[in-house]
Amino acid sequence: MSRTEDAIRASGSRALIGYLPVGFPDLATSIEAAVAIAEAGCTAIELGVPYSDPGMDGPVIQAATQSTLERGFRLEELFEAVAAITARTSAPVLVMTYWNPVLRYGVDRFAERLAAAGGAGLITPDLTPENGRDWLEAAERHDLDRVFLAAPSSSDARIDAAVAGSRGFVYTVSTMGTTGARNDVDLAARALADRIAARAASAGTEALRCVGLGISTAEQVRDVLTYADGAIVGSALVRALGAGGVPAVRELAASLAAGTLDDGPAFAGTQAADAAPAAGAPAPSTPAPSTGSTHSTEKGASA
């Protein structure tokens, strides 16, 4: 059973998922910050792994992860952080990572360590289900969620694969491009969320949809939750942590969580019947895969 899906459903499909990079600005503070956003109202935590070639991250997250790498971040810190966070909060902890660090560590070994630390699963922005057989098998063995991305440019076949391969939710990319807070969340997100629901319904299943990229205010959270099951916030939280430490990130998370309190259409498979594919979506943009990986990539990452 998916802890992430359970948490989203327990929220009435009005989930707030907060992203923070592990180890920023140091390991102890990153643990405190993650616990703080859960206590402030985040339904789940997305813990990012610093990576040397973050092609899909915006400038705020890139700067945070680069400083973490420069101080000598080790992957062992990830598992230490996950264990420390899950010992203090019941919020599911998902790890967002580019695929190359997992591949180099060993897919099954990584899954085993993550499960032992209490992690809920992985979000893999540059791994597609079609190329994720090793990860899907490891996740099944260790009872971990696997979250794949769908973008506005995704074909129906790619959305079908994301729905079939994901457990927890489908990461619904709100816009094409890199991460970062925006004044307006791309209108394509609503059409994409409807397409995902429609494709899931046509396959006789359901898919929880959480929207990321560009969300930074309670009003945007509230808007996203009129058509999706969760809102993912990243850059705004990382900026707050960098500028004001744990108190600032706790305050912002509490403010964002206020956007989950209004009534709205919680997840229902019946919405899918009326959904239609997005028209005029741009052609997919495919960044180069990480060194040593053998998968294709679709544009999108944590918010």
The set of catalytic residues is 46, 57
**Maximum alpha-carbon separation in the chain:** 51
Q: How many residues does the chain have?
A: 303
Contact criterion met (CB below 8 Å) for 42 and 61? no
Residues 6+ apart with CB under 8 A from 168: 2, 4, 5, 8, 92, 94, 120, 121, 145, 146, 147, 208
Q: Which two tokens stand for residue 6?
A: 């359970």
- Helix H segments across 126-217? 133-141, 156-165, 188-202
Give the three-state DSSP class for 46.
strand
CA end-to-end distance (rounded Å), the chain:
26
3-state secondary structure of 233: strand
Angle at Cα 85 formed by Cα 84 and Cα 90, nearest 5°? 130
- Burial code (b: 16+ CB inside 10 Å, e: under 16) for 226-242 equals ebbbbbbbbbbbbbbbb
> Which two structure tokens, joined as six digits, stand for 210?
């959480």
**Whole-angstrom Cα distance, residue 292 to residue 154?**
25
At 255, list the tokens: 């403010």
Residue 252 and residue 291 in contact, taking contact as beta carbons nearer than 8 Å: no
